[in-house]
Amino acid sequence: MLALSGVIPPIVTPLLAHDQLDPTAVDRVVNHLIQGEVNGLFALGTTGEGPSLNYQIRYEMVERTCAAAAGRVPVLVGVTDTSLSESLALAEHADSCGAAAIVAAAPFYFDASQGALTQWFWRLADESPLPVVLYNMPSCVGVTLSLELVAALASHPNVIGIKDSGGDLRYFQQLCVEFRKPGRFSVFMGPEELLADAVALGGDGGVCGGANLLPSVYSSLYRAAVRSDASEIPHWHAVIHELFASVYRDESGRMKLIPGLKYAMSLTGLCQPVIAPPLAELSSEHAERIRSAIDRLVVTGAPISR
């Protein structure tokens, strides 16, 4: 059974154009993340713009990520889709590339009951060649995976965990108390600013988008949280607060996480700032704020010497 823990970033999808992958940048980002001591990679998640990409890019991204990781860390692949057949086809491809697991949020568009969603996930788990991680992402798919649904699916031998991006700590704690079983069912936090809180509640780790730029920040925060290091945790929280203020939020305070993150990564030579529609490009004011902050972020995000 695959046991997952630690920081598993949702890797960005480097693009040369909205319909063209940048394969050499994939290699750079993967190596950057692994050098930053992350514990796995999650391709085609929200930060990876999975639902916005054509199927050719999705398949190429899986191939390149697995090849670049070369078995150094497990690779998880997002297969969220409105079509069960497409989710299963991508799961088969991920398996052929050497991925370790798939991740799936609820199919969107149609208003499906919790019972119908349970059946959908159960069939995915039945037919997937890889273990399944559930993905609770209500802000994007319009539905929360109920605790009853998770309870039913946690009994499936091919369902090995859940990533919760709902941001409700009470719900997250219930997941940890009722379903977390080390080595059998893992519970991961989505919102990166809640990583330390998640670990304190019994969570196994986090899926932190900011690790694409500053992997050592999140791997260090995770380790500090495991140690309950009250002196070190605030240091990393301060870096993440600055990342939100300068990179993620535009001049009006609106979240522009993916465009901001890719632009910041372009300034460090990791990838181009190209995003897929329908995401909007940064304003000149936001871009300037990132340029002004990037050197400070890189320096303060460096590992603490001991």
The whole-chain average pLDDT of the chain stands at 96
Predicted pLDDT at 304: 67
Predicted pLDDT at 230: 95
Residue with tokens 């939020």: 249
Q: What is the mean pLDDT of residues 40-64?
A: 97
Q: Which CATH class is domain 6-300?
A: alpha beta
Predicted pLDDT at 270: 98
User: Residue 152 and residue 117: Cα distance in Å, rounded?
Assistant: 11
Q: 3-class SS at 235?
A: helix
Q: What is the mean pLDDT of residues 279-295?
A: 95
Q: Please, are residues 306 and 49 in contact by the beta-carbon 8 Å criterion? A: no
pLDDT tens track for 2-30: 889 999 999 999 999 999 999 999 999 99
- Give the domain ranges of the chain: 6-300
Q: CA distances (Å), 176 to each of 163, 169, 224, in order?
A: 11, 10, 19
Predicted pLDDT at 306: 53
User: Residue 216 and residue 212: Cα distance in Å, rounded?
Assistant: 10
Taking alpha carbons only, the member of 16, 14, 3 closest to residue 43 is 14
Predicted pLDDT at 301: 79
Predicted pLDDT at 34: 98
Confidence of residue 183 (pLDDT cuts 50, 70, 90): confident
User: Residue 257 and residue 254: Cα distance in Å, rounded?
Assistant: 9
Dihedral angle, C-alpha 211, 215, 219, 221, nearest 10 °: -70
pLDDT tens track for 238-258: 999 999 999 999 999 999 999
**292, pLDDT greater than 70:** yes
Taking alpha carbons only, the member of 184, 224, 183, 186 closest to residue 203 is 186
Q: Is there a cis peptide before residue 182, judged by omega within 30 degrees of 0?
A: no
pLDDT tens track for 81-138: 999 999 999 999 999 999 999 999 999 999 999 999 999 999 999 999 999 999 999 9
Confidence of residue 200 (pLDDT cuts 50, 70, 90): very high
| Its pTM surpasses 0.75 | yes
Q: What is the mean pLDDT of residues 55-75?
A: 98
